Amino acid sequence: MPETSTQDFLEVKDIKEGLLILKNQGIRGVLMVSSLNFALKSEDEQTAIIYAFQSFLNSLDFSAQIIIQSRRINITPYLDGIKDLEANQTNELLKAQTAGYHDFIKELVKGETIMTKNFYVVVPYSLVEALGIKAAVKKGFDLKKLFGKKEEQNSQEIDDSDFQRCKTQLWQRMEFLAMGLRRCGLEAIPLTTAELIELFWSIHHPEQAEIGYYPEILPELIK
């Protein structure tokens, strides 16, 4: 039985200039989006946010995917940092307050799982959209395989000029999305190549990600 690697199960073929290139030659941009505490808003503010988001969705003429990632957090390094601050504190009052804060946090999270949530919007684009169907077929892309199974997907490479054309159009979509989300009180920033690699690495290595371990470079993920 032939050996398999993580790459065999990923739909991502490459990560280039802050964009994901899929095995079916689709291209994706990823925006990381901030959050807001909707429950703490007044009724009028909540209504305004809902209508702003509704208007934003109605303005889209392309699809987008909203992803919520929950990740466990190990706060031991944070507690250790507070202990170090306590040990280096020369003012006795501040030293006692630091110790009290450490004990408070330790007791607060005792027996509980601390989670953090990250919010992303995935923005799609394809070579067919950039070139048109006739031009894509002329370049050797089989449209039946474009949406086929993994083993049937295109092996045709996107040349640099086509990639740059797709990138320009995709960035326009991402800017439009960021502008619409800003009207809802949310900030959205595109992930860089390094941040995309870290994101995929953390998804497939949750235990190491929990303790805050990240290799400086992860080229094996996208080889």
- The total number of residues shown for the chain amounts to 223
Tell if the pTM clears 0.85, that is, is over it.
Answer: no
- Per-residue model confidence (pLDDT) at position 218: 38
- Per-residue model confidence (pLDDT) at position 191: 93
Residue 193, H or E segment? helix 193-204
Under 8 Å between Cβ of 127 and 134: no
Which parts of the chain have pLDDT scores under 50?
A: 133-134, 137, 145-147, 149-155, 213-223
Beta strands (DSSP E) in 8-97 are: 12-16, 19-22, 26-33, 65-72
User: In the chain, what are the domain boundaries?
Assistant: 6-70+120-217, 75-113
Under 8 Å between Cβ of 123 and 111: no
Tell me how many helices (H) and strands (E) the chain has. 10, 6
- Per-residue model confidence (pLDDT) at position 141: 52
Q: What's the CA gap between 49 and 115, in Å, rounded?
A: 25
- Token readout for 66 is 């909203």
Under 8 Å between Cβ of 215 and 205: no
- Per-residue model confidence (pLDDT) at position 66: 92
- Per-residue model confidence (pLDDT) at position 59: 92
Q: What's the CA gap between 84 and 111, in Å, rounded?
A: 23
- Per-residue model confidence (pLDDT) at position 115: 75
- Per-residue model confidence (pLDDT) at position 89: 85
Name the nearest CA neighbour of 38 among 185, 142, 177.
185
Q: What's the CA gap between 159 and 166, in Å, rounded?
A: 11
Q: SS3 for 89?
A: coil
Cβ count near 129 (within 10 Å): 17
Query: Could you tell me which residues are beta bridge partners of residue 116?
Result: 71
Cβ count near 216 (within 10 Å): 5
Token pair 């429950």 is at which residue?
39
- Per-residue model confidence (pLDDT) at position 128: 67
